[in-house]
């Protein structure tokens, strides 16, 4: 498939995705349609066995254990996890008894880890997120039997069911209440609680999981099942960037974060960790900039990143306001602001086997000035890890000399394309850096490159 610039390719556009069915908007480049976010609603995290007369809509349970010790999540095999996920997907159960469901799962599990994973996999593949309940704030019975009967729930129902099922399988499990960035609800008037997830004890060590965030996405106000194993036994140092438990012991970290540190972290999604991304230049969420901004990150092998600037109303701005340069494991993201104001800068990533870029990082930016837009880039610019040194501005002065300096690894020739005269103007080559000074007398200057084994020139970027 021929790759094009995000701007030029009509098949690529932005859509709002909810990670794990929560209120925060997570963006991605995708050929499919858009979606909407949910407003916050009230609900509680509830125990599986309630005394008579207790309203299951409002009770919040805080659970503590003595000195929980975090397990080693690296020891879990990805292939073994996939095998168990497939087994769980084959379990058909339409009843309302946690005990009966556990009886179907138990013969498939040989140890505590397999029991914990099968319970996670079955719930996330069979229980839908109840969008109407969240939107209307009409919180229904969230006890496990009711969740099984209805086949859908919200975060407390997910955590209740996992606790009940895992206990029936012989595991020690707790419900953890706390604050998740973009969490799906606010419990009562408590600003520190808006979400519920679980901790499970496996072979004497504790692991964190979130069946709500592992179940799927909401698109156009409707639930779409999208099983996500990332939120089973999520490493504590990863989960803390989005989940802040009321009880610090459930961070499972040797040095727990305080709430202020948590609040200043950029919004990082599982893609950030999966793609081996490291923050280099900006490690806090809020950035004050002038008319432009440069952010640097490092990525894992075979990973590319792009950026998208959002206005104060959550609407995407034209791609000319960002320039993303992937070069030898380092990504430089430049952003220019149309005018002073508040913005959100999103950084999205993918590997070479994927067509879609998914959000990895989000920054909140206050711009105190206006900057100049950047040239448009094409897919080859990113694929070949091209680095534009100058000029960075989108508009080139007419009848004046502009100095071009661009690094194109592997290219044999780099040229400026004069479409009016149908002329190619070569740049001088020194290694993989191409330079040249040219008086611009035509509009829409395209920079293109020729690579070994091909007579074709591939467009890299375009100026006005």
DSSP code string of 156-179: HHHHHHHHHHHHHTT-EEEEEEEE
| Closest C-alpha to 374, from 4, 2, 5, 3 | 5
Which of the residue ranges 63-72, 135-144, 218-227, 326-335 would you say has the lowest mean pLDDT?
Answer: 63-72
pLDDT in tens, 317-358: 999 999 999 888 899 999 999 999 999 999 999 988 888 888
pLDDT-derived band at 222 (thresholds 50, 70, 90) equals: confident
Task: Give the range with max mean pLDDT: 42-51, 159-168, 216-225, 412-421.
Answer: 159-168
- pLDDT at residue 345 in the model: 96
Question: CA-to-CA distance for 31 and 361, rounded, in angstroms?
Answer: 21
Chain centroid to Cα 416, Å, comes to 37
Asked if pLDDT for residue 314 goes beyond 80, the answer is yes
pLDDT in tens, 15-56: 222 223 333 334 433 323 333 332 222 222 322 333 333 334
* E strand spans, 203-264: 205-209, 216-219, 222-225, 243-245
Say which residue, 10 or 247, is predicted with more confidence. Answer: 247
Question: CA-to-CA distance for 3 and 234, rounded, in angstroms?
Answer: 34
- pLDDT at residue 182 in the model: 59
Asked if pLDDT for residue 290 goes beyond 80, the answer is yes
Asked if pLDDT for residue 159 goes beyond 90, the answer is yes
Which of the residue ranges 129-138, 181-190, 219-228 would you say has the lowest mean pLDDT?
Answer: 181-190
Structure pTM?
0.71
pLDDT-derived band at 449 (thresholds 50, 70, 90) equals: very high
Asked if pLDDT for residue 310 goes beyond 70, the answer is yes
Q: By CB neighbour count within 10 A (0-12 exposed, 13-18 middle, 19+ buried), where does 437 fall? A: exposed
pLDDT-derived band at 191 (thresholds 50, 70, 90) equals: low
Say which residue, 60 or 191, is predicted with more confidence. Answer: 191
Distances (CA, A) of 41 to 9, 405, 421: 38, 53, 62
| Residue percentage of the chain with pLDDT more than 90 | 56
Tracing tokens 């508040």 back to the chain, one arrives at 342
Which of the residue ranges 38-42, 185-189, 296-300, 441-445 would you say has the lowest mean pLDDT?
Answer: 38-42
Q: Which residues contact 247 (CB under 8 A, 6 or more apart)?
A: 62, 64, 176, 178
List domains and CATH numbers for the chain.
34-261 (3.10.620), 273-374 (2.60.40.10), 377-462 (2.60.40)
- pLDDT at residue 32 in the model: 31
Question: CA-to-CA distance for 47 and 190, rounded, in angstroms?
Answer: 19
- pLDDT at residue 38 in the model: 29
Per-chain mean pLDDT for the chain: 82
- pLDDT at residue 316 in the model: 93
Say which residue, 167 or 68, is predicted with more confidence. Answer: 167
pLDDT-derived band at 183 (thresholds 50, 70, 90) equals: low
- pLDDT at residue 100 in the model: 98
The helix/strand count (H/E) of the chain reads as 10, 28
Asked if pLDDT for residue 64 goes beyond 60, the answer is yes
Say which residue, 42 or 219, is predicted with more confidence. Answer: 219
Say which residue, 282 or 224, is predicted with more confidence. Answer: 282
Q: What is the mean pLDDT of residues 304-321?
A: 92
Question: CA-to-CA distance for 107 and 110, rounded, in angstroms?
Answer: 8
- pLDDT at residue 75 in the model: 67
């Amino acid at each position: 498939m021929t790759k094009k610039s995000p701007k030029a390719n009509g098949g690529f556009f932005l859509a709002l995705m909810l990670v794990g069915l929560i209120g925060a908007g997570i963006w991605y480049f995708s050929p499919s349609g858009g979606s909407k976010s949910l407003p916050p609603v009230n609900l509680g995290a509830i125990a599986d066995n309630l005394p008579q007369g207790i309203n299951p809509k409002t009770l919040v349970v805080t659970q503590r254990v003595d000195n929980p010790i975090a397990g080693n999540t690296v020891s879990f095999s990805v292939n073994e996890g996939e095998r168990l996920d497939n087994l769980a997907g084959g379990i058909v159960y339409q009843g309302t008894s946690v005990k009966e469901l556990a009886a179907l799962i138990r013969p498939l599990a040989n140890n505590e880890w397999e029991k914990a994973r099968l319970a996670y996999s079955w719930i996330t593949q069979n229980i839908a997120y109840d969008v109407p309940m969240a939107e209307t704030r009409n919180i229904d019975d969230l006890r496990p039997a009711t969740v099984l009967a209805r086949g859908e729930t919200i975060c407390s129902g997910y955590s209740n069911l996992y606790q009940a099922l895992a206990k029936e399988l012989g595991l020690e499990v707790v419900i953890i209440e706390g604050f998740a960035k973009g969490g799906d609800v606010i419990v009562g008037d408590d600003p520190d609680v808006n979400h519920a997830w679980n901790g499970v004890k496996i072979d004497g060590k504790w692991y964190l999981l979130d069946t709500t965030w592992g179940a799927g996405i909401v698109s156009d106000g409707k639930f779409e099942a999208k099983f996500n194993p990332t939120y089973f036994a999520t490493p504590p140092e990863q989960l803390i960037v989005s989940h802040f438990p009321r009880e610090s012991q459930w961070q499972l970290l040797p040095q727990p974060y305080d709430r202020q540190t948590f609040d200043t972290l950029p919004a990082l999604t599982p893609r950030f960790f999966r793609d081996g991304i490291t923050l280099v230049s900006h490690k806090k969420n809020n950035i004050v900039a002038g008319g432009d901004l440069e952010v640097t990150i490092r990525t894992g092998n075979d990973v590319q990143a792009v950026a998208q600037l959002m206005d104060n109303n959550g609407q995407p701005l034209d791609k000319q306001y960002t320039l993303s340069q992937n070069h030898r494991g380092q990504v430089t993201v430049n952003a220019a602001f149309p005018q002073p104001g508040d913005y959100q800068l999103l950084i999205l990533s993918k590997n070479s086997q994927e067509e879609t870029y998914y959000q990895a990082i989000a920054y909140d930016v206050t711009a105190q000035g206006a900057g100049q837009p950047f040239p448009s880039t094409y897919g080859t610019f990113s694929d070949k890890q091209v680095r534009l040194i100058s000029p960075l501005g989108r508009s080139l002065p007419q009848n004046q000399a502009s100095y071009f300096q661009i690094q194109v690894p592997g290219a044999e020739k780099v040229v400026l394309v004069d479409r009016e005269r149908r002329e190619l103007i070569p740049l001088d080559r020194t290694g993989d850096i191409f330079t040249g000074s040219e008086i611009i007398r035509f509009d829409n200057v395209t920079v293109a490159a020729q690579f070994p084994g091909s007579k074709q020139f591939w467009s890299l970027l375009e100026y006005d």
